[in-house]
């Protein structure tokens, strides 16, 4: 293996989100890795509800099969990790989910983890997922911005709300590390760390790091 190829799939059909996901990958370009960030064009226009998460799986599975020959590791680039376990059955390359990877990474950083969700509707779905993962005890709280994915276009507003939520997680719930519970906000990571005085895990970066670990430990 000369250069390992990491394929990141945005399970929703918004190319803007795919572009933002690509931003998360930039720091890793020092590594002998080739990154491809793909949009699952058959997916829903954003994933907030469980139904949208479920609806994204079938088109993403098609994309995985199509890219399997030229991929050394896949990343499902949506915090709910739609279809993660099924996709692992589908292809032989490692498949990482950004939600799972972000929690596992945060677990190596501090005891109490706070999660910032975009939408309140996502919180019970994430809770079920943390429980299925067997890590719910490590999440001290998950709070939402109560902003729509579309509102995130106003990055300053998003950042201000995120910082407020982050501080509440820190002060009222004891969070020692924060997870951004959504793809595509890597550009805000450093500012959020400064605002809250806590390390922040950006989920796509967490998944890329774990994918790199998988391909380079062979």
Binding site for its own copies (CB under 8 A): 27-28, 30-32, 49-55, 57-58, 61, 83, 85-90, 94, 96-97, 100-101, 104-105, 107-112, 123-125, 127-129, 131-138, 174, 176, 202, 205-206, 208-210, 212-214, 216-218
Q: How far apart are CA 155 and CA 179, in angstroms?
A: 17
State the nearest-atom distance from the C-beta of 217 to its own copies, in Å: 4
Place of tokens 């009222």: 172
Nearer to its own copies, 128 or 157 (CB): 128
State the nearest-atom distance from the C-beta of 96 to its own copies, in Å: 6
Place of tokens 């596992």: 104
State the nearest-atom distance from the C-beta of 181 to its own copies, in Å: 15
Nearer to its own copies, 57 or 68 (CB): 57
Nearer to its own copies, 69 or 89 (CB): 89
Give the burial class of 88: count Cβ atoms within 10 A of its Cβ; 0-12 exposed, 13-18 middle, 19 or more buried: middle
Nearer to its own copies, 19 or 32 (CB): 32
State the nearest-atom distance from the C-beta of 160 to its own copies, in Å: 22
Which residue(s) pair with 72 in the sheet? none
- Could you write out the DSSP letters of every residue in 6-43? EEEEESSS-HHHHHHHHHHHGGGGGSSEEEEEEE-TTS
E strand intervals along 106-189:
113-117, 139-144, 177-181
State the nearest-atom distance from the C-beta of 143 to its own copies, in Å: 10
């Amino acid at each position: 293996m000369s250069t390992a190829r990491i394929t990141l799939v945005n399970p929703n059909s918004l190319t803007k989100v795919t572009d933002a996901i690509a931003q998360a990958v930039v720091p890793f370009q020092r590594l002998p890795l080739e990154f491809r960030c793909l949009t699952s064009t058959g997916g829903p226009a954003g994933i907030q509800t469980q139904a949208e998460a479920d609806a994204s799986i079938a088109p993403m599975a098609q994309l995985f099969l199509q890219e399997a020959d030229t991929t050394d590791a896949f990343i499902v680039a949506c915090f709910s990790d739609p279809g993660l376990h099924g996709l692992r059955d589908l292809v032989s390359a490692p498949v990482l989910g950004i939600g799972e990877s972000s929690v596992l990474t945060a677990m190596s950083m501090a005891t109490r983890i706070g999660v910032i969700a975009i939408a309140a509707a996502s919180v019970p779905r994430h809770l079920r997922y943390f429980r299925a993962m067997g890590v719910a005890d490590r999440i001290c709280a998950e709070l939402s911005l109560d902003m729509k994915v579309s509102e995130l276009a106003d990055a300053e507003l998003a950042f201000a709300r995120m910082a407020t939520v982050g501080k509440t997680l820190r002060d009222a719930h004891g969070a020692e590390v924060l997870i951004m519970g959504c793809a595509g906000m890597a550009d805000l990571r450093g500012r959020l760390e400064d605002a809250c005085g806590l390390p922040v895990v950006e989920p796509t970066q967490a998944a890329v790091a774990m994918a790199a670990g998988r391909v380079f430990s062979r």
